[in-house]
Structure 1
Protein backbone atom coordinates (compact mmCIF):
# COMPACT_ATOMS: atom_id res chain seq x y z
CA UNK A 1 0.00 0.00 0.00
CA UNK A 2 1.16 3.44 -0.82
CA UNK A 3 0.36 6.54 1.19
CA UNK A 4 1.47 8.83 -1.63
CA UNK A 5 -0.65 12.03 -1.82
CA UNK A 6 -0.88 13.89 -5.13
CA UNK A 7 -1.29 17.63 -5.66
CA UNK A 8 -4.34 17.13 -7.86
CA UNK A 9 -7.69 18.28 -6.54
CA UNK A 10 -10.74 16.16 -7.04
CA UNK A 11 -13.67 18.10 -8.48
CA UNK A 12 -17.19 16.90 -7.78
CA UNK A 13 -19.61 18.69 -10.14
CA UNK A 14 -22.88 19.95 -8.71
CA UNK A 15 -24.61 19.71 -12.06
CA UNK A 16 -24.31 17.13 -14.80
CA UNK A 17 -21.43 18.08 -17.06
CA UNK A 18 -20.51 17.50 -20.68
CA UNK A 19 -19.39 14.01 -21.75
CA UNK A 20 -15.97 12.90 -20.59
CA UNK A 21 -14.46 13.36 -24.06
CA UNK A 22 -15.24 17.09 -24.15
CA UNK A 23 -13.76 17.92 -20.73
CA UNK A 24 -10.38 19.58 -20.40
CA UNK A 25 -7.83 17.06 -19.19
CA UNK A 26 -6.21 17.94 -15.82
CA UNK A 27 -2.80 18.39 -17.46
CA UNK A 28 -4.19 21.18 -19.70
CA UNK A 29 -5.36 23.31 -16.78
CA UNK A 30 -3.17 26.39 -16.37
CA UNK A 31 -1.06 26.52 -13.22
CA UNK A 32 -1.74 29.16 -10.57
CA UNK A 33 -0.43 32.58 -11.58
CA UNK A 34 -0.54 31.86 -15.31
CA UNK A 35 -2.40 34.42 -17.47
CA UNK A 36 -6.02 33.53 -18.13
CA UNK A 37 -7.37 33.30 -21.65
CA UNK A 38 -9.69 36.15 -22.66
CA UNK A 39 -13.39 35.71 -21.98
CA UNK A 40 -15.38 35.85 -25.18
CA UNK A 41 -18.61 37.78 -24.97
CA UNK A 42 -21.12 37.13 -27.76
CA UNK A 43 -21.99 40.22 -29.75
CA UNK A 44 -25.55 41.24 -30.38
CA UNK A 45 -26.67 41.40 -33.96
CA UNK A 46 -28.29 44.53 -35.41
CA UNK A 47 -31.82 43.20 -34.81
CA UNK A 48 -31.15 41.68 -31.38
CA UNK A 49 -32.95 43.33 -28.46
CA UNK A 50 -30.88 45.22 -25.93
CA UNK A 51 -30.57 43.60 -22.51
CA UNK A 52 -33.42 44.64 -20.24
CA UNK A 53 -32.57 47.37 -17.75
CA UNK A 54 -33.00 46.31 -14.17
CA UNK A 55 -36.01 47.96 -12.58
CA UNK A 56 -35.29 49.74 -9.31
CA UNK A 57 -36.79 48.31 -6.15
CA UNK A 58 -39.46 50.30 -4.31
CA UNK A 59 -37.37 50.34 -1.14
CA UNK A 60 -34.46 51.90 -3.07
CA UNK A 61 -36.68 54.64 -4.46
CA UNK A 62 -38.28 55.43 -1.09
CA UNK A 63 -34.85 55.44 0.57
CA UNK A 64 -33.49 57.80 -2.07
CA UNK A 65 -36.39 60.20 -1.53
CA UNK A 66 -35.95 60.12 2.26
CA UNK A 67 -32.22 60.79 2.00
CA UNK A 68 -32.66 63.55 -0.60
CA UNK A 69 -35.28 65.30 1.53
CA UNK A 70 -33.16 64.99 4.68
CA UNK A 71 -30.09 66.40 2.96
CA UNK A 72 -32.11 69.20 1.34
CA UNK A 73 -33.16 70.24 4.84
CA UNK A 74 -29.53 69.95 6.00
CA UNK A 75 -30.53 67.61 8.81
CA UNK A 76 -28.52 64.78 10.29
CA UNK A 77 -29.54 61.16 10.33
CA UNK A 78 -29.63 61.29 14.14
CA UNK A 79 -31.90 64.34 14.15
CA UNK A 80 -34.46 62.74 11.81
CA UNK A 81 -34.28 59.35 13.53
CA UNK A 82 -34.89 60.96 16.93
CA UNK A 83 -37.83 62.98 15.59
CA UNK A 84 -39.30 59.85 13.97
CA UNK A 85 -38.63 57.77 17.10
CA UNK A 86 -36.80 55.08 15.14
CA UNK A 87 -33.21 53.95 15.54
CA UNK A 88 -30.54 55.75 13.59
CA UNK A 89 -29.00 52.52 12.15
CA UNK A 90 -32.44 51.38 10.96
CA UNK A 91 -33.19 54.73 9.29
CA UNK A 92 -29.78 54.56 7.63
CA UNK A 93 -30.57 51.09 6.24
CA UNK A 94 -33.97 52.29 5.01
CA UNK A 95 -32.33 55.24 3.23
CA UNK A 96 -29.81 52.89 1.59
CA UNK A 97 -32.56 50.52 0.46
CA UNK A 98 -31.31 47.68 2.65
CA UNK A 99 -34.53 47.39 4.68
CA UNK A 100 -38.14 47.16 3.55
CA UNK A 101 -39.74 49.55 6.04
CA UNK A 102 -43.30 49.20 7.26
CA UNK A 103 -45.87 51.86 6.48
CA UNK A 104 -45.69 53.04 10.12
CA UNK A 105 -41.92 53.59 9.88
CA UNK A 106 -42.25 55.35 6.53
CA UNK A 107 -45.02 57.60 7.88
CA UNK A 108 -42.93 58.46 10.95
CA UNK A 109 -39.86 59.26 8.85
CA UNK A 110 -41.94 61.35 6.46
CA UNK A 111 -43.55 63.27 9.35
CA UNK A 112 -40.10 63.91 10.84
CA UNK A 113 -39.17 65.53 7.52
CA UNK A 114 -42.36 67.60 7.39
CA UNK A 115 -43.97 65.39 4.73
CA UNK A 116 -47.04 63.26 4.74
CA UNK A 117 -46.92 59.59 3.78
CA UNK A 118 -48.75 60.52 0.57
CA UNK A 119 -46.03 63.07 -0.28
CA UNK A 120 -43.27 60.52 0.28
CA UNK A 121 -44.97 57.85 -1.81
CA UNK A 122 -45.82 60.32 -4.58
CA UNK A 123 -42.20 61.41 -4.82
CA UNK A 124 -41.07 57.78 -4.96
CA UNK A 125 -43.70 57.04 -7.61
CA UNK A 126 -42.37 59.95 -9.68
CA UNK A 127 -38.88 58.47 -9.46
CA UNK A 128 -40.21 55.08 -10.56
CA UNK A 129 -41.98 56.67 -13.53
CA UNK A 130 -38.77 58.47 -14.56
CA UNK A 131 -36.79 55.22 -14.37
CA UNK A 132 -39.42 53.39 -16.40
CA UNK A 133 -39.46 56.07 -19.11
CA UNK A 134 -35.67 56.16 -19.30
CA UNK A 135 -35.43 52.37 -19.58
CA UNK A 136 -38.28 51.90 -22.06
CA UNK A 137 -37.13 51.96 -25.70
CA UNK A 138 -40.73 52.61 -26.75
CA UNK A 139 -40.86 55.84 -24.75
CA UNK A 140 -37.93 57.24 -26.74
CA UNK A 141 -39.43 56.56 -30.15
CA UNK A 142 -43.18 56.78 -29.54
CA UNK A 143 -44.89 60.15 -29.99
CA UNK A 144 -45.98 61.88 -26.82
CA UNK A 145 -49.45 60.89 -25.70
CA UNK A 146 -52.04 63.38 -24.62
CA UNK A 147 -52.42 63.89 -20.90
CA UNK A 148 -55.84 62.21 -21.08
CA UNK A 149 -54.27 59.05 -22.52
CA UNK A 150 -51.39 59.05 -20.03
CA UNK A 151 -51.77 56.47 -17.30
CA UNK A 152 -49.46 57.06 -14.38
CA UNK A 153 -50.79 55.32 -11.34
CA UNK A 154 -49.74 53.86 -8.07
CA UNK A 155 -50.99 50.73 -6.39
CA UNK A 156 -49.84 49.71 -2.94
CA UNK A 157 -50.60 46.34 -1.47
CA UNK A 158 -49.81 45.10 1.99
Structure 2
Protein backbone atom coordinates (compact mmCIF):
# COMPACT_ATOMS: atom_id res chain seq x y z
CA UNK A 1 0.00 0.00 0.00
CA UNK A 2 1.33 3.45 -0.91
CA UNK A 3 2.04 6.08 1.77
CA UNK A 4 -0.83 8.19 0.40
CA UNK A 5 -3.34 5.33 0.59
CA UNK A 6 -2.13 4.39 4.06
CA UNK A 7 -2.61 7.95 5.39
CA UNK A 8 -6.05 8.33 3.80
CA UNK A 9 -7.23 4.92 4.99
CA UNK A 10 -6.14 5.72 8.56
CA UNK A 11 -7.80 9.16 8.35
CA UNK A 12 -11.06 7.61 7.16
CA UNK A 13 -10.93 4.99 9.93
CA UNK A 14 -10.54 7.77 12.51
CA UNK A 15 -13.59 9.51 11.01
CA UNK A 16 -15.64 6.35 11.42
CA UNK A 17 -14.42 5.74 14.96
CA UNK A 18 -15.10 9.34 16.00
CA UNK A 19 -18.37 9.66 14.06
CA UNK A 20 -17.08 12.62 12.05
CA UNK A 21 -19.29 14.08 9.29
CA UNK A 22 -16.24 14.84 7.12
CA UNK A 23 -13.56 12.79 5.35
CA UNK A 24 -11.19 12.16 8.21
CA UNK A 25 -8.65 13.23 10.79
CA UNK A 26 -4.88 13.30 10.34
CA UNK A 27 -1.91 13.85 12.61
CA UNK A 28 0.35 16.82 11.81
CA UNK A 29 3.04 14.69 10.16
CA UNK A 30 0.38 12.98 8.03
CA UNK A 31 -1.00 16.39 6.99
CA UNK A 32 2.51 17.47 6.00
CA UNK A 33 2.93 14.28 3.92
CA UNK A 34 -0.39 14.93 2.15
CA UNK A 35 0.72 18.48 1.34
CA UNK A 36 3.86 17.05 -0.27
CA UNK A 37 2.07 14.31 -2.22
CA UNK A 38 -1.23 15.88 -3.32
CA UNK A 39 -1.06 18.90 -5.63
CA UNK A 40 -4.63 19.92 -4.69
CA UNK A 41 -4.05 19.79 -0.92
CA UNK A 42 -4.41 23.05 0.99
CA UNK A 43 -3.59 23.68 4.64
CA UNK A 44 -6.13 26.07 6.17
CA UNK A 45 -5.05 27.64 9.47
CA UNK A 46 -8.12 28.98 11.30
CA UNK A 47 -6.39 30.40 14.37
CA UNK A 48 -6.62 34.10 15.25
CA UNK A 49 -4.41 36.89 13.92
CA UNK A 50 -2.83 37.10 17.38
CA UNK A 51 -1.86 33.42 17.26
CA UNK A 52 -0.35 33.76 13.78
CA UNK A 53 1.62 36.82 14.83
CA UNK A 54 2.83 35.75 18.26
CA UNK A 55 2.95 31.94 18.07
CA UNK A 56 3.89 31.32 14.41
CA UNK A 57 2.54 30.14 11.08
CA UNK A 58 3.06 27.36 8.56
CA UNK A 59 4.60 28.58 5.29
CA UNK A 60 2.12 28.53 2.37
CA UNK A 61 -0.90 27.88 4.61
CA UNK A 62 -4.07 29.81 3.89
CA UNK A 63 -4.92 31.81 7.01
CA UNK A 64 -8.59 32.60 7.62
CA UNK A 65 -9.55 33.56 11.14
CA UNK A 66 -12.48 31.50 12.52
CA UNK A 67 -12.69 33.40 15.81
CA UNK A 68 -11.11 36.76 16.64
CA UNK A 69 -8.99 37.56 19.70
CA UNK A 70 -9.54 38.82 22.39
CA UNK A 71 -13.23 37.90 22.71
CA UNK A 72 -13.02 34.87 20.40
CA UNK A 73 -16.04 36.11 18.46
CA UNK A 74 -16.94 34.27 15.27
CA UNK A 75 -15.76 35.77 12.00
CA UNK A 76 -19.06 36.62 10.24
CA UNK A 77 -17.31 36.53 6.84
CA UNK A 78 -15.58 33.18 7.33
CA UNK A 79 -17.59 31.12 4.85
CA UNK A 80 -17.38 33.80 2.15
CA UNK A 81 -13.60 34.06 2.67
CA UNK A 82 -13.24 30.28 2.57
CA UNK A 83 -15.15 29.86 -0.68
CA UNK A 84 -13.34 32.82 -2.23
CA UNK A 85 -9.85 31.57 -1.31
CA UNK A 86 -10.09 27.76 -1.50
CA UNK A 87 -11.57 25.68 -4.29
CA UNK A 88 -14.22 23.23 -3.02
CA UNK A 89 -12.44 20.54 -5.08
CA UNK A 90 -9.26 20.94 -2.99
CA UNK A 91 -8.17 18.43 -0.39
CA UNK A 92 -8.73 20.66 2.64
CA UNK A 93 -6.60 20.14 5.74
CA UNK A 94 -7.89 22.32 8.60
CA UNK A 95 -5.66 23.28 11.53
CA UNK A 96 -6.05 25.39 14.66
CA UNK A 97 -4.17 25.46 17.98
CA UNK A 98 -5.23 22.04 19.27
CA UNK A 99 -7.78 20.53 16.88
CA UNK A 100 -11.05 21.83 18.40
CA UNK A 101 -11.79 24.93 16.29
CA UNK A 102 -10.58 23.09 13.21
CA UNK A 103 -13.17 20.37 13.88
CA UNK A 104 -15.90 23.04 13.82
CA UNK A 105 -14.55 24.44 10.56
CA UNK A 106 -14.20 20.97 9.00
CA UNK A 107 -17.87 20.33 9.78
CA UNK A 108 -18.86 23.68 8.25
CA UNK A 109 -16.75 23.11 5.12
CA UNK A 110 -18.24 19.63 4.60
CA UNK A 111 -21.76 21.06 4.99
CA UNK A 112 -20.94 23.65 2.33
CA UNK A 113 -19.68 21.54 -0.54
CA UNK A 114 -16.08 20.66 0.38
CA UNK A 115 -15.93 16.93 -0.24
CA UNK A 116 -12.36 16.14 0.93
CA UNK A 117 -12.00 17.70 4.40
CA UNK A 118 -9.57 16.55 7.09
CA UNK A 119 -9.08 17.89 10.60
CA UNK A 120 -5.45 18.14 11.72
CA UNK A 121 -5.44 16.54 15.15
CA UNK A 122 -3.20 18.13 17.80
CA UNK A 123 -3.17 21.38 15.79
CA UNK A 124 -0.25 23.78 15.71
CA UNK A 125 0.58 23.73 19.43
CA UNK A 126 -0.67 20.34 20.65
CA UNK A 127 -2.30 19.42 23.93
CA UNK A 128 -1.50 20.78 27.36
CA UNK A 129 1.26 18.98 29.26
CA UNK A 130 1.17 18.17 32.99
CA UNK A 131 2.22 21.75 33.81
CA UNK A 132 -0.50 23.26 31.61
CA UNK A 133 1.86 24.31 28.79
CA UNK A 134 1.59 23.67 25.07
CA UNK A 135 4.27 22.80 22.45
CA UNK A 136 5.64 19.79 24.33
CA UNK A 137 2.90 17.20 23.73
CA UNK A 138 2.17 16.80 20.04
CA UNK A 139 1.30 19.48 17.55
CA UNK A 140 2.84 20.79 14.32
CA UNK A 141 5.66 22.73 16.04
CA UNK A 142 6.61 20.02 18.54
CA UNK A 143 6.88 17.48 15.71
CA UNK A 144 9.49 19.66 13.99
CA UNK A 145 7.43 20.43 10.88
CA UNK A 146 8.10 23.66 8.95
CA UNK A 147 6.90 26.87 10.59
CA UNK A 148 7.99 30.48 10.92
CA UNK A 149 7.61 33.07 13.63
CA UNK A 150 4.82 35.51 12.71
Q: For the superposition of Structure 1 and Structure 2, which TM-score range results when normalised by the shorter chain?
A: under 0.3
Looking at secondary structure, tell me which structure has more strand per residue. 2
Looking at secondary structure, tell me which structure has more helix per residue. 1
After TM superposition, the score normalised by the length of structure 1 is 0.24
After TM superposition, the score normalised by the length of structure 2 is 0.24
Larger radius of gyration: 1
